């Protein structure tokens, strides 16, 4: 299995997780390229384990008019 920087699947030793700022920058860039983007989905292992990160992403996305959907384990 290939470990990806943005993947929460802990198949390797050192997982390099994206920060809130990383996610926000990606959303900003994608929204700039596609202003009609109206929703994103956050998944992972369990996104709510990092609630502050999720809230930062949610607030930023909302400021752009982008809806956020969460897919959780529970």
Give 15-71 pLDDT, tens digit per residue: 678 899 999 999 999 999 999 999 999 987 788 889 999 999 999 999 999 999 999
Domain contains 52: yes
pLDDT of residue 52: 95
The total domain count for the chain is 1
pLDDT at 9 over 60: no
Which domain covers residue 38, as residue numbers?
A: 20-70
How far apart CA 31 and CA 40 sit, in angstroms, is 11
DSSP 2-57: ---TT-----SSS--PPPHHHHHHHHHHHHHH-TT--EEEE-SS-GGGGHHHHHHH
pTM (2 decimals)? 0.74
Question: Is residue 12 in some structural domain?
Answer: no
Identify whether 45 is part of a domain. yes
Determine, yes or no, domain membership for 41: yes
Whether 57 is in a domain gets the answer yes
Tell me: pLDDT of 74 over 80: no
Q: What is the pLDDT of residue 3?
A: 47
The most distant pair of C-alpha atoms in the chain lies apart, rounded to whole Å, by 38
pLDDT value, residue 6: 52
């Amino acid at each position: 299995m290939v470990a990806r920087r943005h993947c929460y699947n802990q198949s390797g030793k050192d997982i390099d997780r994206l920060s809130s700022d990383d996610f926000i920058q990606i959303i900003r860039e994608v929204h700039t390229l596609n202003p009609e983007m109206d929703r994103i989905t956050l998944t992972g292992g369990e996104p709510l384990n990092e609630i502050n990160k999720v809230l930062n992403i949610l607030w930023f996305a909302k400021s752009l008019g982008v809806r956020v959907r969460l897919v959780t384990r529970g």
